[in-house]
Amino acid sequence: MTEEHPRFVLLQARDPGDPMSRHEQLCFANALSVPAEQITLHDLLQGAPPPSVTETHDAILVGGSGDYSVLGDHDFLPAFFDFLANVVIKEEVPTFASCFGFQALVLAGGGEVVHDDTRAEVGTYTLTLTEAGAADPLFKTLPNPFRAQLGHKDHAARLPAGMLNLASSESAPFQALRVEGLPVVATQFHPELTREANTERYLRYWDAYGTGDKTNDPVLARMADSPDSTALLSRWVEMTLAK
């Protein structure tokens, strides 16, 4: 690997033909400031990637999931959780996971995730760094508080031992984590999304998240820019992959 041309693999759980698969790839590419061709897509619905993926890629990304939940009875989940526990964490693979990926990492480590529509966060929200977040080499570069893009109904209720809680919101106490001492970071929020991209994502999944009135929708009205959180991904690459 050279610093100028790192190779990423993006793990996705999205149905065939879902346009958000390509959309997510482009969002990560833009946030990482790399060509989309440097991000290989892996379909988790076809199974977890082989451990050898770490030999052909410099870092792992885990994105959202569209219509899938880490709490669902999906055939692909057990092998995916095993991959996170036995490859990502055990082998200390540089990894950045968001939303669905955040929740999956929590479960893979032995934590707890719950579903709660009343605490769903969709749109742009203000988050606060924890004491650990303010001391983390990556997250301490953020202002405190900071804005971020969100879109979830499941949330972490308990982090596993060895995972540090880096940020929180009014509705969800666990918004970001680092596996202690490792280049493995995850966020409940979406640092790969801009205001515009989150709006596109929200409208794509309108049937699941929308209010039914696009002309007077509180989520659309709440969408705002979040440049500080979007800068996290490229900064993570600089800190993690630079030789």
Nearest residue to 89 via CA among 187, 186, 218, 213: 186
Residue of 163, 158, 65 whose CA lies nearest to 113: 158
192 is catalytic: yes
Active site residue 27: no
Residues, the chain? 243
What gap in Å lies between CA 197 and CA 200, rounded to an integer? 5
**Pick the catalytic residue: 24, 42, 99, 152?**
99
Candidates 142, 140, 153, 53; CA nearest to 103 is 153
| 190 is known as an active-site residue | yes
Catalytic residue among 57, 152, 155, 190: 190
Q: How far apart are CA 25 and CA 63, in angstroms?
A: 9
The DSSP-derived string for 62-101 is: E---TT--TTS--TTHHHHHHHIIIIIITTT--EEEETHH
Active site residues: 99, 190, 192
